[in-house]
Amino acid sequence: MESSTPVLFLLGASHRTASLVVREKLSLDATRAAALAAKLRAMPGVKEFTLLNTCNRVELYGVAHTPDTLAALHAALCETTGCTPEELNGAGFTRHNHEAIAHLFSVASGLDSQIVGETEILGQVKQAYDAALAAHWTGPVLNRVFQKTFQAAKHIRTHTGIGAGQISIATVAVDLAGRIFGELTTTQVLVVGSGDIGLKTAQAFQSRGATSITVASRTLSNAEAAAAQTGGWAASLAELPELLAAADIVASSTSAPDFVLTKELVAAAMKRRAARPLFLVDLALPRDVDPAAAELANVFVYNLDDLAKIAEANLAQREAEVARCRAILAERTAALWPQVAQSLNRPG
């Protein structure tokens, strides 16, 4: 920043560079964000800016026209957040011009996220841009950069495997259910035990369209409380043989020391359920489902280890795609940068 040529800049800190303590300090609630924005608007060297503020990162993108603007931005961020300049210097980072574009592409595409390939970040980038656009903080440079960012992120999601496969236990189970039943709208979900993980899994099934959920627990009052959370039915564990015969998906997470779903119990249920398959998700430790039940025709048993292995494999597959994604984004950055540079150098 020795010359007075306008520069596209990024000033920020993220989970990759800053500890949780520093990120907590840097975190901007609505009041702080408004205060920082007011300071930026008052700075004569700042022509455009957008503020991206998530639980994992605070990033300030903008166009600066004077060489000392970045120092002023640093100071403004410290003043607003209470973070010391040393902390920010140690945990923060700056990028200029095409490097700032490359970083934004990477962030919006989910490559820089804690869970590689997650999609929530793209929505957050869009929200940040929309807010800046509505407040007239952006101009021709940032408008172009962000529009191209959304196109790049969409391309990455569509043409690479960065978002392929589920990476949490509950969503892996839901994905497997989809491969057994297709649509989940007509499936009957039975949650055995009123533990948190079982309920979260049931809610994941609900989010994919499952409407009929029954919670069975040793204590009926616990089942009723858990059923109220899912909008489902409550039942006693004593009714398990009947419930099992009617269920398509069973998520079991009791604290019982022995198998709750024995092979004999499952075999008896299978005789009463025509041609429908049965998907048993064992979320308990020690296990609730007798592994021998998997030997029965049309019965699919997955335990915590199985689900975790699939999630890990999916994550590894996503990470293997990162290099390919970066290459694609580098090409797009190289194509965009000359246009942005021209725009930066345009008078006015």
Partner 1 sequence: MSTLLTDRALLWLGALLYLAGFLTGLVELLRRQPRAGLRTILNTLLIGGWGFQMAGLYVRGMAVGGCPLGNTFEIVQFVAWSAMLVYFFVGTTLHVTLLGLFTAGYAATLALVSLLVPQWDLTRGLKLFGNNPWIELHAALAVFSYGVFGLLAMTSLMHLLQSWSLKHKRLNGLFWFLPSVVQLDQINYRTLVLGVALLSISLGVGASWWVRDTASVDVPKLAVTIGVWGAYLLVGLLRWRARLVAVRFAWVCLVLFLIALLSLGPVNSSRHHQIPLLHQR
81, 156, 160, 175 from 310: Cα distances, Å: 41, 23, 19, 11
Could you tell me which of 192, 147, 198 has the C-alpha nearest to residue 173?
A: 198
Strands in 106-230 per DSSP E? 188-192, 212-217
Instruction: For the beta carbon of residue 51, count every other beta carbon within 10 angstroms.
Output: 22
Stretch that binds partner 1, among 82-90, 126-134, 234-242, 290-298 (CB under 8 A): 290-298
> For partner 1, which is the closer residue by CB, 3 or 158?
158
Dihedral over Cα of 123, 124, 128, 129: its sign: negative
Distances (CA, A) of 60 to 52, 302, 307, 321: 6, 45, 38, 27
Options 65-73, 114-122, 160-168, 220-228: segment touching partner 1 (CB under 8 A):
160-168
In the residue annotation, 83 being an active-site residue is answered as no
Q: How far is CA 234 from the centre of its chain?
A: 31
Q: Does 159 bind partner 1 (CB under 8 A)?
A: yes
Q: Which is nearer to partner 1, 73 or 278 (CB)?
A: 278
Dist. CA 330–CA 324, nearest whole Å: 10
Nearer to partner 1, 145 or 167 (CB): 167
Among 313, 316, 334, 335, binds partner 1 (CB under 8 A): 313
Q: Which of residues 74-103 bind partner 1 (CB under 8 A)?
A: none
| Candidate list 3, 158, 342, 345; residue touching partner 1; CB under 8 A | 158
Q: Contact with partner 1 (CB under 8 A): which of 13, 22, 108, 176?
A: 176
List 304, 306, 341, 344, residue binding partner 1 (CB under 8 A): 306
Residues acting as catalytic residues:
55
Residues that bind partner 1 (CB under 8 A): 158-161, 164, 176, 178-182, 274-277, 294, 297-298, 300, 302, 306, 309-310, 313
